[in-house]
Structure 1
Amino acid sequence: MKTKNLKVNQLSAGAFRNYLSYLEALDKKDVEAYGKFLSDDVEMWFNNQHFGSGKEIILKGLAEYWQSFASIEHDLTNIYGSDKNYVLEALNYYKRHDGKDATVKAVAFTDLNQNGKVESVRLYMDMTPVFK
């Protein structure tokens, strides 16, 4: 994960450290580590498509989805919002299975519940460069 291009960060130091751990689990494609951040009733959307509801369903779907590319690395550019509701703007660097690199500009809206677990994630990005 890269943070040197982070211009705006409106999270507290503690929330930022937690979010970096969350993103690190994504970059490692570590389903078990990622699942520790999710509420049992989490919802996830990719663009206009409902990816799933419920921790088990989402983790199963992500385990399958993450097999469609070799690796991912987040390059954070801006984080707006509060410690409970925030938006990340980032460049995501993918390595495809054919060895080619693909960069995707992405935005992720994240909401946490009262226990600090992710209850909603809405991702907006064009994955065409990764899958063409």
Structure 2
Amino acid sequence: MARNVEPMFSAIDAMDVEGFLSNLAENVTFQFGNAPALVGREAVREGVVAFFSSIAALRHEMTGKWEADEITILRFMTYYTRHDHNEVEVPCAVILHHAENTLIDDYRIYIDLAPVFAPPVGGEQVAAAH
């Protein structure tokens, strides 16, 4: 079944926490990179609000999408704008499990955020290696 997840990523790119959360089941498990998994929509809200405060902006460019039954796998190039106005690009993959009501009950993001928070080198940010 084809699922339209693009509006959810538009909400993320707009840093619209409530718009993002509207796609998640109440009992969602959410794991971002190597951070501990968050369980429940309220825990995800707190985690996402904290993360959004650590960056100035972000945007996703989808470079792949695969679906099988209740699973959606996405590949992105994600662009983070730091508070120092440098933009850093980082590849990532997202695996979503959709509950029977189509809300997402398991959300895993595979990404290395180290380049986003690394200090600029020579006054300019070094982009992540591809």
Structure 1: where are the runs of 5+ without partners?
Answer: 1-10
Aligned CA distance change for structure 1 residues 83 and 93 (closer, same or farther; 3 Å):
farther
Structure 1 stretches (4+) deviating beyond 6 angstroms? none
Determine if the alignment matches structure 1 residue 114 to structure 2 residue 112.
Answer: no
Say yes or no: does 1:86 pair with 2:68. Answer: no
AA of the residue aligned to 2:111: M
Task: Judging by fraction of residues, say which structure has more helix.
Answer: 1
Count of residue pairs the alignment pairs up: 118
Contact kept? 1:51, 1:58, Cα under 8 Å: no
Root mean square deviation, CA, Å: 1.3
Tell which structure's C-alpha radius of gyration is larger: 2
Q: Which letter does structure 2 place at the counterpart of 1:105?
A: P
Give TM-score, length-normalised by structure 1.
Answer: 0.84
Higher relative contact order (CA 8 A, sep 6+): 1
Deviation at 1:83, TM superposition (A): 6.0
Structure 2 matches for 1:49-128, cutoff 5 A? 49-82=35-68, 84-128=70-114
The aligned counterpart of 1:4 is none
- Answering whether residue 7 of structure 2 is matched by residue 21 of structure 1, we say yes
| Distance (whole Å) between structure 1 residues aligned to residue 87 and residue 35 of structure 2 | 25
Q: Distance in 1 between matches of 2:69 and 2:51?
A: 28
